[in-house]
Chain A
Amino acid sequence: MNLIRAELLKIRSTSTWWIFLLITLPLWGLTLMFNGFQSAYLLSPEAAEGMSGEDAEQIIAAGDPANVAANLYTNGQFFGVAIVMLLGAIVVTNEYFHQTVTTTFLTTPHRTRVVLAKLFAASVFGLVLWVITTAANLPAGALIMGANDEASYMGDGTVWRAIALNGLAYLLWAIFGVGFGVLIRSQIGATITALVLYFAGYIGAAIFFGVLSDRFGDWFNNLQLLVPSLASQLMVSGTELPGNPPQWAGALVLIGYAIVAGTVGTLLMRTRDIS
């Protein structure tokens, strides 16, 4: 408990956290704009026109108002979890960059506890960001739904499930971030690698699967799940989309990754020389 307080104080006592919040804000606005236009398109009756078979089916399913609402209320995830991941990484790499790791481990020779406290503190930050974005998404989303002559769907179970799973995504990405920071001690190295893997991995994998899934079919499409950024997007889709793996599978994959990242990170930290 003391350790968690100390780790939270570490985050609060530097300017990192509010700089991160400041970065999140415009990115959130950007995705809201994009999602606003997309919602208008999906909700319009002519969305699936001129398409055939599975594509049309997917668009129609995506155009289910509950799904559109879920998408709006989880707006900002794409950049949000990246920010949370960065903070998680920095929580660790900071200690090497500023050479505070000596003091930290002198104070607490049980390094596992330190890593756990960091995981916890980063998760708290992740959840705070989730609460903030959700609090902003609810009125903004309801407004957009209203503008498209739809109900707000705020009482809908699938919507709230998506919002909850979105929170889980923020939490899990915070954990990845910490794992990343432990693996790559260099501040710049860790943040850049994490960002590149996140965005390039996302775009690269989207293209890769887009091109190849037609050829190999659904089982291959399901492998998308193994790409963490795609898995977390899948998690927050409101309803099940035809041809896509179920949401809980995305959650399971992310939890698996988070456990691996956390465990490997802890084991590494325990044996590493601090000099």
Chain B
Amino acid sequence: MADGQIVVSGLTKLYKNVRAVDNLSFTVEPGRVTGFLGPNGAGKTTTLRMLLNLVKPTAGDATIGGQRYADLADPLRRVGAVLEASSAHKGRTGINHLRVVCAAAGFPRQRAEEALALVGLTPAAKRKFKGYSLGMRQRLGIAAAMLGDPQVLILDEPANGLDPEGIRWMRDLLKSLAAQGRTVLVSSHLLSEMQQLADDLVIIAAGKLVRQGTVSQVMDSMAHTAQVRVRTPQATELTEALRAVEQATITPNGDGVLLVTGVDAPTVGRAALKASVELHELTTERPDLERVFLELTAGKAAIR
């Protein structure tokens, strides 16, 4: 499955007085799950909607497999999307919702049943949408996105409202879709989930790109924020000894534990040896995605 690459270049959206998206450029590769992260109001939804021809960009453009969404001959066969603020008619049954999409896209009718089965909604097929729970609604959205068996999937906070089982199901689904060579772009606020799911990351804040790369590249770029955890019965002496080392920032964490940043574990060990301080524990704690994310977007996260 070739050319499922997403290219966003110079994308800008001006609302009355907000630069919702500001000269944003990044690429998303097929065969990988790409996490699209940013604080509330960063412009994720706006970016995805511009990519899908739902919102008109003020400047710049976005292509999927080299074509703008509006120019795709058979959009649902190429791209499946699950967006927030997208829903179904409250008085229409789940299966009929999918049948309407099938009719409009020219898909055979039984695709609706198949997609419903794929997301485990068959028992609720003939129930009206207003009787669906949040998670069921989300699943119906995913079913609609899967109708055309698309090679590119774009999901805006798909885990919203899913139970733990549902989240795991979604993770496995997205991973297997990427493994088949499809492009998967997914925005989320669940950072620990993202750390397990994503291969690549695109992080934005205040409408601008903050960092793009593989998960390990992004994590490594913030490796200097790794902290050393050290436990000792002689906390005061060790603190004294580390004061002599430049760049070290020491935060006592109770129970004889010190959290040291700015220096690596060997440096801490040597300082302790020199001062003849007894150590009971010495470990490097790499920052998790949540810490990296908060560091990267610090000060840019204000809601505009």
Residues of A within 8 A of B (CB): 2-3, 5-6, 9-10, 13-16, 94, 98-100, 102-110, 271, 273-275
Q: Does B17 contact A (CB under 8 A)?
A: no
Shortest beta-carbon distance from B14 to chain A in Å: 12
Of A6, A14, A103, A271, most buried by chain B (CB within 10 Å of CB) is A103
A56 to B101, CA, bound (A): 59
Q: Is the CB of A271 within 8 A of B89?
A: no
Q: Does B266 contact A (CB under 8 A)?
A: no
B88 partner residues in chain A, CB cutoff 8 A: 98, 100, 103
B131 partner residues in chain A, CB cutoff 8 A: none
A5 to B54, CA, bound (A): 23
Of B49, B52, B70, B104, most buried by chain A (CB within 10 Å of CB) is B104
Which residue of A is nearest B130, CB measured? A98
B75 partner residues in chain A, CB cutoff 8 A: 106-109
Q: Is the CB of A274 within 8 A of B55?
A: yes
Shortest beta-carbon distance from A275 to chain B in Å: 6
Q: Is the CB of B54 within 8 A of A274?
A: yes
- With A109-B53, A109-B69, A273-B54 as contacts: A2 and B106 at CB distance below 8 Å: yes
Indicate the size class of the contact surface on chain B. Answer: 20 to 34
B179 partner residues in chain A, CB cutoff 8 A: none
Q: Is the CB of B105 within 8 A of A103?
A: no
Q: Which 6 A-B pairs have CB atoms at the shortest separation, nearest pair first?
A: A6-B104, A99-B87, A6-B103, A102-B86, A13-B96, A274-B54
Q: Does B85 contact A (CB under 8 A)?
A: yes
A103 partner residues in chain B, CB cutoff 8 A: 86, 88, 101, 144
Q: Does B90 contact A (CB under 8 A)?
A: yes
A105 to B105, CA, bound (A): 11
A136 to B289, CA, bound (A): 70
Shortest beta-carbon distance from B93 to chain A in Å: 7
Further contacts, 10 of them, CB under 8 A, given A6-B104, A102-B86, A109-B53: A2-B105, A6-B100, A94-B89, A105-B53, A107-B105, A108-B75, A109-B70, A109-B75, A274-B49, A275-B45
Could you mark each residue 67-93 of chain B with 1 if its beta carbon is under 8 Å from any beta carbon of chain A, else 0? 001101001100101010111111111
| Interchain CB contact (< 8 A) of A100 among B46, B54, B89, B103 | B89
Which residue of A is nearest B49, CB measured? A275
Q: Is the CB of A107 within 8 A of B89?
A: no
Query: What are 12 inter-chain pairs, A to B, with CB distance below 8 A?
Result: A2-B103, A2-B106, A6-B100, A6-B101, A13-B99, A13-B100, A99-B86, A100-B88, A107-B75, A109-B75, A274-B55, A275-B55
Of B49, B52, B89, most buried by chain A (CB within 10 Å of CB) is B89
Shortest beta-carbon distance from A273 to chain B in Å: 5
Q: Is the CB of B85 within 8 A of A99?
A: yes
Q: Is the CB of A108 within 8 A of B104?
A: yes
Shortest beta-carbon distance from A229 to chain B in Å: 30
| Interchain CB contact (< 8 A) of A102 among B72, B79, B85, B93 | B85
Of A15, A98, A106, most buried by chain B (CB within 10 Å of CB) is A106
A83 to B56, CA, bound (A): 35
B87 partner residues in chain A, CB cutoff 8 A: 98-100
Interface of A is mostly: helix
- With A6-B104, A100-B88 as contacts: A106 and B55 at CB distance below 8 Å: no
B105 partner residues in chain A, CB cutoff 8 A: 2, 107
A245 to B13, CA, bound (A): 52
A110 to B53, CA, bound (A): 10
Which residue of A is nearest B105, CB measured? A107
Shortest beta-carbon distance from B55 to chain A in Å: 5
- With A271-B56, A273-B54 as contacts: A98 and B104 at CB distance below 8 Å: no
B45 partner residues in chain A, CB cutoff 8 A: 275
B54 partner residues in chain A, CB cutoff 8 A: 102, 105-106, 273-275
A193 to B26, CA, bound (A): 46
A1 to B263, CA, bound (A): 68
A15 partner residues in chain B, CB cutoff 8 A: 91
A108 partner residues in chain B, CB cutoff 8 A: 75, 104
Which residue of B is nearest A98, CB measured? B89
Q: Is the CB of B70 within 8 A of A273?
A: no
Shortest beta-carbon distance from A142 to chain B in Å: 39
A6 to B89, CA, bound (A): 14
Instruction: Give chain B interface residues in 146-190, CB to chain A under 8 Å.
Output: none
Q: Is the CB of A13 within 8 A of B92?
A: yes
A15 to B91, CA, bound (A): 7
Instruction: Give chain B interface residues in 27-86, CB to chain A under 8 Å.
Output: 45-46, 49, 52-56, 69-70, 72, 75-76, 79, 81, 83, 85-86
Which residue of B is nearest A95, CB measured? B89
A159 to B29, CA, bound (A): 68
Shortest beta-carbon distance from B177 to chain A in Å: 18
Shortest beta-carbon distance from B109 to chain A in Å: 10
Shortest beta-carbon distance from B102 to chain A in Å: 8
Could you mark each residue 206-234 of chain B with 1 if its beta carbon is under 8 Å from any beta carbon of chain A, else 0? 00000000000000000000000000000
A9 partner residues in chain B, CB cutoff 8 A: 96, 99-100, 103
Shortest beta-carbon distance from A188 to chain B in Å: 15
